[in-house]
Homo-oligomer: A and B are copies of this chain.
Amino acid sequence: MSISELRVGVVGAGMIGADHIARLTSTTAGAVVSAVIEPDEARAAAAAALAPGALTYQRVEDALAAGTMDAVLVATPGQFHELVLLPVLEAGLPILCEKPLAPDPETSWQILQAERKGGRQLIQVGFMRRFDPEYRQLRQFIAEGSAGDLLMLRGVHRNATVPDSYTQDMLINDSVVHEFDVIPWLAGATIRSVEVRYARRNELSPAHLREPILVVMELDNGVLVDVEMNVSVQFGYQVATEAVFQRGVARIGQPQGMQLWQQGRFQLEENASFKSRFRAAFDIEVQSWADAARRGTVDGPSAWDGYKVAVACAAGVEAMKSGRPVEVNLPETPSFYVAAGA
């Protein structure tokens, strides 16, 4: 059985939520926003105005009771994810949950239990890099093996600036979190250890931040990874990866687009934020999720992927504080997730 038009309830109508409401309405085929769940009434009304016909609710339980949703997109802050996910899992609806699954490994584990109880996978976690065309191309290239074994991955994640509210731990939990998901996915391997090294501090960074940092990871297949995490580089937004193989090197995330010669220089515009860098990735992610939800399946990063990232983040924060390598210890993959090929 397949749903012809997926009625999506969006929980959380902040910046990210509103963005998804606009996307689902104007860009995603086969889906409409039927419900906006948001306790702040003004914000709810503003967001619902983006989606003709959408009803507003204050709590997800109300929307579930009304029976107006076929699927749910969760865009609240991470600390509220569990509260939203549990009733939706109980109702058996497919979910796209913005990253992180939950703020810590323990809560993530609780969510896994709740999903498992329902007997089938319902959660996709919003690690949108997996849907970026270049990341996909690189992953396919690694898997094909035409350049031999993958030996190293060398990455950069550079933001122009961050607000004062951005904390030291967010370097790991908000930013490197994407690498913790996408690197194992690229390399077909698991993170074994994490170490964090400090570069010379950028004086343009908020006073409470000590960055950039270099995150060094070892994977269980021997691949070594180093990622520059830099949130104050001023010039723009850049996420790039270089993959070193036995017989070659591949690189993604390089500047593209219209070329301009002006004022003594050849120039390409760099991305200004993740919104332009990952616009296609977000669009493909949501389309892909909606397509799978209409078929009754999940094919993106699972709750188990979300759990593994939560464990890596905890290790990453400890590594950043201690200055020492920290092991990443994972339980065996539960058979519930193995079966699904997650």
Contact = CB atoms under 8 A, between A and B. Distances in A.
B257 A134 contact: yes
Nearest to A158: B249
Interface in A128-151: 133-134, 137-138, 141, 147-151
Nearest to A160: B264
A5 B316 CA distance: 47
Nearest to A234: B247
A27 interface: yes
Q: How large is the interface on A (under 10, 10 to 19, 20 to 34, 35 or more residues)?
A: 35 or more
Contact of A224 (B2, B30, B214): B214
A25 interface: yes
Contact of A261 (B154, B202, B222, B235): B235
A169 interface: no
Contacts of A272: 264
Interface in A1-59: 2, 4-5, 24-31, 52-53
Interface string A284-296: 0001000100000
What is the oligomeric copy number?
4
Nearest to A248: B262
A152 B228 CA distance: 9
A299 interface: no
Interface stretch (A109-117, A171-179, A192-200): A192-200
Interface in A217-236: 218, 221-224, 226, 228, 230, 232-236
Contacts of A287: 26-27
A256 B257 CA distance: 8
9 contacts: A147-B260, A150-B200, A235-B249, A235-B262, A247-B262, A248-B263, A251-B258, A261-B270, A264-B269
Q: Which 8 A-B pairs have the closest CB atoms?
A: A200-B222, A248-B262, A255-B266, A199-B224, A234-B247, A251-B259, A249-B261, A152-B199
